[in-house]
Amino acid sequence: MPAIAGKEEARSVSVSWYQSRKRQDFIKKALAFIVLMLGAVMFIAPFLWMVSTSLKAQANVFSPDWIPDPIQWRNYPDALRSAPFLTYFKNTAIITLFATVGSVLTSSLVAYSFARLRWPGRDFWFGVVLATMILPGVVMLIPRYILFSQIGWVNTFLPLTVPPWFGGGAFFIFLLRQFYRGIPMELSESARIDGAGELRIWWQIVMPLSTPALAAITIFAFNGAWEDYFGPLIFLNDESKYTLQLGLTTFAAGGGGVPLWHWMMAASLVVMLPVIIIFFLGQRYFIEGVTLTGLTGR
Amino acid sequence: MARLAASRPSRAEKKPFLTPRRREALTGYIFALPFIFGFLALTLGPMIFSLYASFTEYNIVNPPEWIGLGNYDFILRYDEEFRISLKNTIYYVILKTPLVISISLVLAMLMHIDLPGQRYFRTIYYLPTVLTGVAAIFLWVWVLNPEGLLNRGLGLLGISGPNWFFDPAWSKPGLIVMGMWYIGSPILIFLAGLNGIPTQLYESAEIDGAGPLRKFWNITIPMLSPTIFFLVVTNIIGAFQVFNSAYVVSTTAHASAGAPAQSLLFYEVYLYIRAFQHLEMGFASALAWILFAIVMVVTAIQLWLAKRWVYYES
C-alpha cells in the first residue's frame, strides 16, 4: 500500500515524492535485513545447540541452558576414546586422499581433452558425460557391488579409492571443461611450436592457469569423500575398516539404551570440523563452482 | 596455421604416419580414456548386467536364475512395501520441492537487495550445504527430539510441537524441515539468475506504474523461469533418491530402517533392505529400473510442460 501513497504524492510535489521514495527504500531494506537476520539465527542455532550439548554433563543434556553448567570438556576425549576413532580417522584420511587426488587429476586430464584437443568422436563422448549426470546412481549400485565382490574388493578400500580415478564424475569434467575453454588457444599453439607435448602443456600451462577451478573441484571431491556414508556402508564390513561417518553410527546403535547425546554431539563436531575449516578457507572457490555448474551440494 | 606450414616440408620428403593432426587426435583419445574406460566398465557394463539381473533371482552366492518378468510382476501387482515406499517418496517429493524452491527464491531475492553484511548472509546460508554427513543428521535428530531445540522454540510461541521422528505422521515433515537447512545451492543459483536480469526492465515497468507484485510476476518470474525449471528438475530427481537422511534417522531413533511404522521407508531405503539385508539382488535390480523409469517419465513430463511456462530469450 505505501507504493500507491508514494505515487499520489509524486503527482503533486516531486521533492516529497523523492523523499517518500527514499523512505520506502529504507523500509524495504530494513525489512529484508530483519528477515535475513532471523533466518540466519535459525540457520546457526542448531550449531550452537550442538556445541552446547557437547559440553554438558549427561544428566543435563535435556536442560534448556545454552551455557552448560558445569562445562564438561572431557566429553571430547571421552567420546573419542569410546570407539576406535583414531582408526576411523586414518581410514577416512587414506580414502579421502586417494579419491580426491584421483578425481582431480583424471577429471582435469579428461576435461583438457574435451576442451582443447580435436579428435573424432569427441562430441559424442562429451554427450555421454552429460548423460551420466542424470542417471540415478542406484541403477549402477547393485551390479557394481556384484562386480567388486567377484573380484574380492568388498571389505577393502578399493571400491572407494579406485573409481574416482576414471574421470572423477561428470560434474567435475563439465566444470573444468568450461574453464579450460576460456584459456586462450594461442598459449597452446606457441608451446607446440616450441616442441612441448600435450602432457606438458596440460601440466605446465593449463593447470597453473586454472587454480580457482581446480580448487573448487578439490574441495568438492574432498567433501564428497570425507562425508560419504553410502559407499562405506555398503562396501566396508569390518569395524577396523570403518570410516568416521560409519564410526559415528556405532554410537546410535550402541546398546539400544539411552543415547549418549553429549558424546554424539562432541564426536560429530570433531568429524565435521575439517569440512567447516575448508569451507571457510575456500569459500570463494566454492561459490564460484556452484554458480558455474549449478552443482547442488548433495 | 603455423603448424600446417611447419608440417609441409616434411611431407614432401616422406609422409610420416603421425601427422600433427593424427597425433592430436590420438592424444585426445588417450587423455579421455580414463572416462571412456570408466564409463564402459563402471556404468554401461553394470547397467546392462543390472537389466539382465532384474529378470532373475540372484543372491550372489548362487548363479542368477532366469524368472522372466517375475520380479516386475510381483512388485507392481502384489508388493505392499513397494507401494508404501513409493507413496512415501512421492509425498516427500511433492512437499519438499515447492518449499525448497519458494524459500530459496525469497531468500535469494532478499540477499539480492544491497544490504550491509550481504556477504556474511551468503556464507551463513551456504555453510550447512557442505555438511551432508552422518554428523549433521545426528544434529537434526537431536534438534528435532520431542524435547529438543525446535519444540522448545515452538513452545516459546505457544505451539506444542509434534514428536517428529517418533510420530509416523510427523517423521516425513521432520525430514523436510531438516532439508530446509540445505538450500544454499538453490540460493546461489537463484542469485546468479537474479544478477542476469537487466535492471532496465524494472525501471521501465516502474515508469509504467507497476507495483512490486506486478514486477515480481511479470518480470522476475518469467526471467527466472529457466533457473526455476532447472532447480525443479534437479530437486525432484534428487528427492526421489532420498536415502542417507532417512536411513540414518530411522536407524538412530528406532534401530530399524524405515521406522517409525514404515513412515520413513522411502524407495531407496526399501531397495537397500532388499539388496543388502536380504541379498535379493535380482529383485532389487528390478526395483532400481522401476525407479529409473519413474524418474525418466517425471523428467520427460516436465520437459514437455516446460514449453508452456519456461521463457527463453532469443
Interface of A with B in 150-189 (CB under 8 A): 163, 165-167, 173, 189
Residues A48 and A100 in one domain: no
A111 and A46, same structural domain? no
Q: Which residue has the cell 517423521?
A: B171
To the nearest whole Å, the CA of B236 is away from the closest chain A CA by 11
Q: Let me know whether B80 and B54 are in one domain.
A: no
pLDDT of residue A145: 93
Q: B278 and B301 share a domain?
A: yes
Residue A91 shares a structural domain with residue A216: yes
Q: What are the chain B neighbours of A218 within 8 Å (beta carbons)?
A: none
Q: Is A227 helix (H, G, I), strand (E, B) or coil?
A: coil
Same domain, B62 and B79: no
Please write the tens of the pLDDT for every residue from B242-253: 999 999 999 888
Is position B5 within any domain? no
A45 to chain B, any CB pair closer than 8 A? The answer is: yes
Q: Is residue A61 part of a domain?
A: no
Tally of structural domains, chain B: 2
Task: Write out pLDDT tens, residues A213-268.
Answer: 899 899 999 999 999 999 999 999 999 999 999 999 887 655 456 778 999 999 99
Residues A49 and A82 in one domain: no
Residue B208 forms part of a structural domain? yes
Coil/strand/helix, residue A239: helix
Rounded distance between C-alpha atoms, residue A47 and residue B288, angstroms? 36
Least confident among A64-78, A148-162, A254-268, B17-31: A254-268
C-alpha cell read off for A275:
569440512
Asked if B36 and B179 sit in the same domain, the reply is no
Residue B260 and residue B115 share a domain: yes
Domain that holds residue B52: 20-71
Residue B12 has pLDDT above 80, yes or no: no
User: Do B166 and B112 share a structural domain?
Assistant: yes
* A35 close to B (CB below 8 A): yes
pLDDT above 90 for B21 = no
Residue B116: pLDDT band by 50, 70, 90 thresholds? confident
% of chain B residues with pLDDT over 90: 75
Rounded to the nearest angstrom, the gap between the alpha carbon of residue A221 and the centroid of all alpha carbons in its chain is 7
| Residue B15 pLDDT level (bands cut at 50, 70, 90) | low
Model confidence at A144, pLDDT cuts 50, 70, 90, reads very high
Same-domain check for residues A50 and A143:
no
The answer to whether ipTM exceeds 0.95 is no
Reported confidence tier of residue B110, pLDDT bands at 50, 70, 90? very high
Residues B126 and B26 in one domain: no
Based on the fold, state whether residues A44 and A167 are members of the same structural domain: no
pLDDT in the model for residue A2: 46
Same domain, A269 and A151: yes
Amino acid at B263: S
Dihedrals φ, ψ of A134, to 5°?
A: -100, 0
- Which among B71, B89, B112 is the end of a domain? B71
For residues B54 and B125, membership in a common domain is answered with no
Q: Judge whether residue A4 has pLDDT over 80.
A: no
Residues B115 and B204 in one domain: yes
Residues B183 and B65 in one domain: no
- Residue A167 forms part of a structural domain: yes
Smallest Cα distance from A222 to chain B, Å? 11
pLDDT tens sequence across B199-246 = 999 999 989 888 889 999 999 999 999 999 999 999 999 999 999 999
Q: What is the pLDDT of residue A43?
A: 95
On whether both B165 and B52 belong to a single domain, the answer is no
The domain tally of chain A equals 2
Give one DSSP letter per residue of chain B, joined into a string.
-HHHHHHHHHHHH---SS-HHHHHHHHHHHHHHHHHHHHIIIIIHHHHHHHHHTTEE--SSSPPEE-TTHHHHHHHHT-HHHHHHHHHHHHHHHHHHHHHHHHHHHHHHHHHS--TTHHHHHHHHHGGGG--SHHHHHHHHHHTSTTSHHHHHHHHTT-----GGGSTTTHHHHHHHHHGGG-HHHHHHHHHHHHTS-HHHHHHHHHTT--HHHHIIIIIHHHHHHHHHHHHHHHHHHHHT--HHHHHHHHHHHSSTT-STTTT--HHHHHHIIIIIS--HHHHHHHHHHHHHHHHHHHHHHHHHHHHH-----
Is position B12 within any domain? no
A108 neighbourhood in chain B, CB within 8 Å: none
Give the one of A230, A246, A275 whose C-beta lies nearest to B243's C-beta. Answer: A230
Model confidence at B14, pLDDT cuts 50, 70, 90, reads: low
Q: Are residues A249 and A139 in the same domain?
A: yes
Q: What CATH number is given to the structural domain containing B166?
A: 1.10.3720.10
What does the pLDDT read at residue A13? 54
Contact call for B130 and A297, based on CB within 8 A: yes
| A121: chain B residues, CB-CB within 8 Å | 29
For residues B149 and B237, state if they share a domain: yes
In this structure, are A98 and A174 located in the same domain? Answer: yes
**What phi and psi values does residue B311 have, to the nearest 5 degrees?**
-105, 115
In a domain, A93, yes or no: yes
Whether B127 and A43 lie within 8 Å, measured CB to CB: yes
pLDDT in tens, B254-279: 878 888 999 999 999 999 999 999 99
Domain extent, residue A26, equals 2-54
Q: Does A26 lie at the interface with B, CB-CB under 8 angstroms?
A: no
CATH of the domain at A176: 1.10.3720.10
Burial bucket for residue B95 (CB in 10 Å: 0-12, 13-18, 19+): middle
Contact A248, A271 (CB under 8 A): yes
**Band (B6; pLDDT cuts 50, 70, 90):** very low
| B96 phi/psi in degrees, rounded to 5 | -80, -45
Minimum mean pLDDT range among A236-245, A282-291, B163-172 = A282-291
User: Which chain A residue is nearest to residue B47, measuring alpha carbons?
Assistant: A140
Q: Where are the alpha helices (DSSP H) in chain A?
A: 2-12, 14-54, 75-81, 85-116, 122-133, 137-150, 158-161, 170-181, 185-193, 198-201, 207-209, 211-226, 230-235, 244-253, 261-293
**Same domain for A112 and A233?**
yes
